[in-house]
Amino acid sequence: MTSFGARLAAALAARGSLCAGVDPHPGLLEAWGLTDDADGLARFADACVEAFGPTAAVVKPQSAFFESYGSRGIAVLERTVQGLREAGALVVLDVKRGDIGTTMAAYARAYLHPSSPLASDAITASPYLGVGSLQPAFDLAAEHDAGVFVLALTSNPEAPQLQHVTGADGRTVAQVVVDDRAARNAGAEPYGPFGVVVGATIGTSVADLSGLNGPFLVPGIGAQGGGPDDVRRIFGDATAAVVPSVSREVLRAGPDVAALRGAVERQVEQFAFLRRASGS
């Protein structure tokens, strides 16, 4: 298997810059005319696999919405991850795990080891027990050509209480996260497997993002208010590695599969400038 960075670059070049979110919250199941149970979840997920698997470069299932239905929900998540990958999409499993020692190693094994039923191309992770606490995930990702997106600058209003804090060395917490990822990506081509999550609705950035040499996963597009102009403002010359993540703006087109694919195509067109910036 080629590196995650190389696979991601190829997927973005072939399918356009977009990560389609799979967020089956109860209100959306109701809007689709589905029951709020594991059966409704399965029908929702199957439609997303059919619509996004052959179309989107990246798909991001939100694990919590599946977990809320217990073991049957996890079984649906396993089938969803496998179906999306078989259809050619890269899967970033949105789990935002963050722990220490053997517990973090177990999380990493659950999502990044090829033998796991939930094996994904990449995961999201929370660094707020210290970036070094995520080392088991970084190690397993490197061993199996997977990726890890670490939270750096999120859009929620509480985020500055922690992410904007400045340490003794003058760097913000967000900058420490970015710098750690940049060091791990050094020398990788076309870019490294370790990315960061940066919301499209943040105000003025409190971190220099230019040296990451890795991908940016950018939620907050569409229903949350972010758009192409925000991406240009935040990332400047680093836009080639930006992966806009859109959930509600695409999912509201369901349950019709063709309509969901059309919604993906419209979002890809909005962010076509990202591919031009990369030369693809």
Residues marked active site are found at 96
The Cα–Cα gap between 83 and 141 comes to 21
- Note whether 108 and 144 are within 8 A (CB): no
What tokens were used for 197?
């999550």
Closest CA to 224 of 242, 256, 250: 250
What are the residues facing 21 on neighbouring strands? Answer: 60
* Sign of the four-CA dihedral 72, 23, 16, 185: negative
The Cα–Cα gap between 181 and 27 comes to 36
3-state helix, strand, coil in the chain (%, to 5): 50, 15, 35
Could you give the residue ranges of the DSSP H alpha helices within the chain?
4-15, 26-31, 38-52, 63-67, 70-86, 101-112, 135-143, 160-163, 173-185, 228-235, 248-251, 257-270, 272-278
Which contiguous run of DSSP H or E holds residue 198? Answer: strand 194-198
